[in-house]
Amino acid sequence: MASTRNLVGETAAGNERGKVLVMRDEEKAEEDDSPSAKRSKFERFPLTRWELAAALGVFFVFSTGLFCIYLIMPAADYGKLKLPRTISDLRSLKDNLATYASEYPAQFILGYCSTYIFMQTFMIPGTIFMSLLAGALFGVVRGLFLVVFNATAGASSCFFLSKLIGRPLVNWLWPEKLRIFQSEIAKRKEKLLNYMLFLRITPTLPNLFINLASPIMDIPFHIFFLATLLGLIPASYITVKAGLALGDLKSVKDLYDFKTLSVLFLIGSISVVPTLLKRKRIYE
C-alpha cells in the first residue's frame, strides 16, 4: 500500500511539473509571437557602432567629393534636375539636360559619372534610368562606354565597402541566399570567372547582392572586376539602345521581355561552356 501511495504521489508530482513546463513553454511562445517581440527582432540592427561610423565616414567622404564637383560645374537651373523615378521623369530630365550636355560636354560627363558611381556605391536605386539617359544623350557607343565604366567603378567601390562592413549586413538581409551562393561558389572554385560572368550577364541574382556578397565569399577582386566589366556589356547595350527611343518606352519592365531575357541567358550559357566541357573530359 505504501509503495502504491508513493507511486501515485510521484505520478501526480510528475504531472504537475509537466503542466508547469508546458505553461512556461506556452508563455514563452506567446512572448515570441507578441508584436513587441517581433518588433525587437526586426529592429535589431546588424552593424556595430564602429561599423556604422565607418560606413557614415565613407558616405561623408564620397558626398563631400560629389558636392565639390557640383560646385565647379557651370551654372544651371538645378530646380529642374532630380533623379528620375519613372520614364516620364526621365524624358523631362533629358529635355532639360540636352542643351547643357552639348554646351559643356566635359563638365557634364564628369557630373554624370560622379553621380552614377555614387549611386552604385551606396546602392541607391535608379541607375537604370542613368543608363537610359546615357543612351538618350550620347548614343550607343559613347553611352555604352560610359555605363559600363561607371557601373564597374561603382560596383568595385561597393565591393570594398562591403569588405569593410558588409558581412553582418548581408547575413541579416539575405541569410538563405548567402548560404546558397556560398555553396555554388565552393563548387566552382576552378572556373570561378566563368560562373561570375554567367551571374553578371543573366538576371539570376541581383547585381546588388553580387556586389555585397562577393567579398564576403573571398572572391578575388580581379575576378570580380573582369566579370563585372565584361558581364555587364550585354544588358548595358540593351538599356543604352533603348534610351535612343524614350518616346516608345512606357515602363522599365518593357526593357526585359521574354525575348531579351532569353538572349541574355543564351549569352550567359556560353560563358559556362568551358566548365561543362572540362567536367565532361574528367568523367570520360
- The domain limits of the chain are 49-281
For residue 21, pLDDT beyond 60: no
Residue 73 carries which DSSP code? S
Q: Which three cell numbers stand for residue 71?
A: 560646385
Angle at 218 between CA 183 and CA 127, to 5 degrees: 95
Question: What's the confidence (pLDDT) of residue 78?
Answer: 63
- The per-residue pLDDT for 20 is 43
- Grouping H, G, I as helix, E, B as strand and the rest as coil, residue 86 is coil
Q: Using an 8 Å Cβ cutoff, are 129 and 84 in contact?
A: yes
Q: Tens of pLDDT along 238-284? A: 999 999 988 788 888 888 878 888 888 888 888 776 655 555 444 44
pLDDT of residue 233: 95
136-182, pLDDT tens digit by residue?
999 999 999 999 999 999 999 999 999 998 888 899 999 999 999 99
DSSP code at position 203:
T
- Asked whether 234 and 141 are in contact (CB, 8 A), the reply is no
Task: Round the average pLDDT of the chain to a whole number and report it.
Answer: 81
- What is the pLDDT, as a whole number, of residue 30? 45
Per-residue pLDDT, 70: 86
Global pTM reads 0.78
Please report the pLDDT score of residue 75 as a whole number.
76
User: 97: closest CA among 78, 115, 114?
Assistant: 78
* pLDDT tier at 42, thresholds 50, 70, 90: very low
Tens of pLDDT along 74-100? 876 666 677 888 898 899 889 888 888
Decide: 107 and 150 in contact? Cβ < 8 Å.
Answer: no
**Residue 104 parent element (H or E):** none
Mean pLDDT of 59-75: 89
